[in-house]
């Protein structure tokens, strides 16, 4: 009797563990990219320059381009083996001293069916990214042009 109870409990624990792992595998694939927002106390031109500088410095994107007219910074894909990454940031001047940034990092893995979007960055990585951008904004504001 004790052996049957033990086997049932062990089987149930194994099924729960497998279900938890399967949920994580499914959530790694995405159909549309995640975007996080952050608000900075700076003019839009400084924010755009800072984002472009961070992307170039960290090598997160190639051919980083600032499009001030459309309020965005875009990069081309950086390919590394079976993975490629592209970054896009949109800005919006909220008032005379605040600017909102919507950041999207698209990561794709090469599969037999083509490129599949994957989630590699979590909220904490985006927060670190925003902190680096903030430091770069202060550098941009201190540069006299």
Per the structure block, which two tokens stand in for 53? 């500088």
Between 51 and 31, residue with greater pLDDT: 51
Q: Give Cβ neighbours of residue 78 (< 8 Å, ≥ 6 apart).
A: 59, 60, 61, 62, 84, 85, 86
Domain ranges of the chain: 1-30, 32-142
The CATH code belonging to domain 32-142 is 3.30.530.20
**pTM over 0.85, yes/no:** no
Nearest to 105 by CA among 67, 73, 81, 134: 73
Q: What is the pLDDT of residues 95-141, one digit of tens each?
A: 999 999 999 999 999 999 899 999 888 899 999 999 999 999 999 99
> If DSSP codes are grouped into helix, strand and coil, which group holds residue 51?
helix
Between 143 and 82, residue with greater pLDDT: 82
In 1-145, beta strands by DSSP E: 36-40, 62-67, 72-76, 78-80, 83-93, 99-111, 114-118
Centre a 10 Å sphere on the Cβ of residue 100 and count the other Cβ atoms it contains. Answer: 16
Q: Which of 28-42, 52-66, 84-98, 101-115 has the lowest mean pLDDT?
A: 28-42
């Amino acid at each position: 009797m004790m052996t049957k109870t033990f086997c049932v409990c062990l089987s149930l624990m194994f099924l729960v563990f497998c279900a938890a792992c399967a949920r994580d595998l499914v959530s790694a694939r995405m159909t549309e990219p995640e975007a996080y927002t952050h608000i900075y106390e700076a003019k839009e031109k400084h924010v755009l320059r800072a984002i472009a500088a961070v992307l170039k410095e960290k090598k997160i994107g190639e051919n980083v381009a600032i499009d001030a007219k459309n309020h965005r910074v875009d990069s081309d894909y950086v390919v590394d083996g079976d993975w490629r990454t592209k970054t896009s940031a949109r800005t919006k001047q909220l008032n005379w001293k605040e600017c909102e940034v919507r950041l999207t990092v698209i990561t794709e893995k090469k599969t037999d069916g083509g490129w599949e979007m994957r989630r590699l960055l979590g909220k904490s990585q985006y927060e670190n990214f925003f902190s680096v951008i903030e430091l770069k904004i202060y550098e941009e504001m201190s540069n006299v042009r």
